[in-house]
Amino acid sequence: MTDPERVAEHYSQAAFEFETRRLPEFCPVEFAMTKRMLDRWIPNGTHVAEIGVGAAITPNTWRHAAAGFT
């Protein structure tokens, strides 16, 4: 596995898992507000290109991470 592949794997697995656990537990207001805006403005099934730092959270993964979150 090359270095870029290892970095991609880290961000698509470990970092994503960390963020989906961290946000609802430690940042519930940020999580709820972000989820609400994504649900409101970005249709389900939309592809999103994220440029910047983050674990590439998309509307569909927010919905998955938020299952049962009110």
pLDDT tens column, 5-21: 887 777 777 777 887 78
- Answer yes or no: is 70 within a domain: no
Q: Express as a percent the part of the chain with pLDDT over 90.
A: 4
> In which band, very low, low, confident or very high, does the pLDDT at 23 lie, cut at 50, 70 and 90?
confident
Q: Tell me how many domains the chain contains.
A: 1
Tell me the pTM: 0.48
Average pLDDT, the chain: 74
Q: How far from the centroid of its chain's Cα atoms is residue 11's Cα?
A: 11
> pLDDT tens digits, residue range 39-56?
899 888 888 776 665 555
For residue 38, being part of any structural domain is answered with yes
31 pLDDT higher than 80:
yes
**DSSP string covering the chain, please?**
--HHHHHHHHHHTHHHHHHHHHHHHH-HHHHHHHHHHHHHHS-TT------SSS----HHHHHHHTTT--
Residue-range definition of the domain harbouring residue 49: 3-64
Task: Tell whether 55 is covered by a domain.
Answer: yes
